[in-house]
Structure 1
Amino acid sequence: MSRKEMILRAATRLFSAKGFKETSMAELSRMSGVAGGTIFYHFKNKEELFLSILEGFKSDIVEEFERYRRERKFDTGLDMIEGTISFYFYLVGRMEDRFLLLHRHDAYELAEVNPLCGEYLQSIYNCLLDIFEQAVQLGQEDGSIAGMPARKTAMIILCMVDGLARFNTYKLYDAGALYNELMQSCRRMLQNNQTQQQEVDSC
């Protein structure tokens, strides 16, 4: 692992555990085992380091979802939505530090004084919205999802999924305990009435 990667990994752990404000570069130097001068060689200040973590987070999310969709085959757009929700929770568990960092209020306080941070945060959520929107549009094309504004629908789904993920991230509630109910709610909201009737008739 390169020194830059060591810095980023340690910084992610510190920012997620203590927040942006409470993390010092001296503490980062101790945790990463990298000298302060070397840290400032790679990142001119703490804000640039934080933005680099956000940028890498977005790239990893896109890469992971692209790989997941290449490897999985979905019969319908509705199936893709359900798979996307499931994979989202998988990533929340696998990238716990970075999702905690994303969910901390520190990031949004920084965004108020640093417009670039706001743009990075928005780009992360926009890429997540794009992922859900693509599945909604596919479902509308194949008839498995009702005709409704795809972007707004994707936003509602993301709010439901990410809201439950936050409970899990903060150890307030086990997301797994509501997983089936979440899936059922999304299915009822999205499913084309004609498809619902066909399922009833087949029972």
Structure 2
Amino acid sequence: MKKKEVILQAATHLFSRKGYKDTAMGELTKMTGAAEGTIFYHYKSKQGLFLAILSNLKEGILPEFERYRNAESEKTGLDMVEESISFYLYMAQSREDLFAILHQRYPYELAESNPECRDHLEAVYNCFVDIFENAIVTGQRDGSIAPDIAARKSALIVFSMVDSMVRFRMNNLYDVGALYKDLIESCRRMLENRTR
């Protein structure tokens, strides 16, 4: 692995565990063996390094979600919503460092004044919500989901519920496994077409 990639990987871990403000560049130099000058040569600043992490997140996670979204399925839209929930929870667990960064306050503070950061965050979250919206629209077409609900708004609600479960797990607040079945049932009740 190239030094630049080692720095990025180590910084991702540190930022995810300590947050942006509490991560010292000196700690990163100790962890990677790279001089501070080398880090700044590759990333220009601490903020530049953080933006590179967000870009890496976008470039690493979005293709996986795109592949998932584009996979052919014979299932109903309602079943696709359930699968999307499972996939999101799986991705959040397998990419825990990156999702931990998304759940910190700093990226959103930075996005207020930094268009590049805002673009990265919008791309990531639009992809997440699009997966749920696509499943809902499919369900409205096949009749498994109520035709009169607003697909985008419902997708945002489902995403918010699922993402909250990820936050619970990351912060050790609740046993998410014990809540999974109830989450699925709640989403099904909210979306299902009862007129069939």
Unaligned runs of 5+ in 2: none
Preserved CA contact (<8 Å) 1:99 1:169 = no
Q: Which moved more, 1:140-149 or 1:174-183?
A: 140-149
Preserved CA contact (<8 Å) 1:77 1:135 = yes
| Cα distance change of structure 1 residues 85 and 74 upon mapping to structure 2, 3 Å threshold | farther
Select the structure that is richer in helix.
1
Residue 189 in 1 paired to residue 190 in 2?
Answer: yes
TM-score of the superposition, structure 2-length normalised?
Answer: 0.92
Deviation at 1:70, TM superposition (A): 5.3
Residue 65 in 1 paired to residue 62 in 2?
Answer: no
| Cα distance change of structure 1 residues 182 and 167 upon mapping to structure 2, 3 Å threshold | same
Deviation at 1:43, TM superposition (A): 0.6
In 1, Cα distance between the equivalents of 2:105 and 2:125? 15
In the comparison of the two structures, how many residue pairs are matched? 195
Partner of 1:163: 164
| Cα distance change of structure 1 residues 120 and 172 upon mapping to structure 2, 3 Å threshold | same
Q: Which moved more, 1:68-77 or 1:135-144?
A: 68-77
| Cα distance change of structure 1 residues 70 and 126 upon mapping to structure 2, 3 Å threshold | closer
Deviation at 1:9, TM superposition (A): 0.7
Partner of 1:119: 119
In 1, Cα distance between the equivalents of 2:11 and 2:182? 36
Which amino acid is 1:133 matched to?
E
User: Structure 1 stretches (4+) deviating beyond 6 angstroms?
Assistant: none
| Cα distance change of structure 1 residues 72 and 96 upon mapping to structure 2, 3 Å threshold | farther
Partner of 1:53: 53
Preserved CA contact (<8 Å) 1:74 1:80 = no
Preserved CA contact (<8 Å) 1:145 1:191 = yes
In 2, Cα distance between the equivalents of 1:192 and 1:54? 38
Deviation at 1:69, TM superposition (A): 4.5
Partner of 2:175: 174
Tell me the secondary structure at the aligned position of residue 23 of structure 1: coil
Tell me the secondary structure at the aligned position of residue 195 of structure 2: helix
Partner of 2:40: 40
Identical pairs, percent: 55
Within 5 Å, which residues of 2 pair with 1:122-137?
122-137=122-137
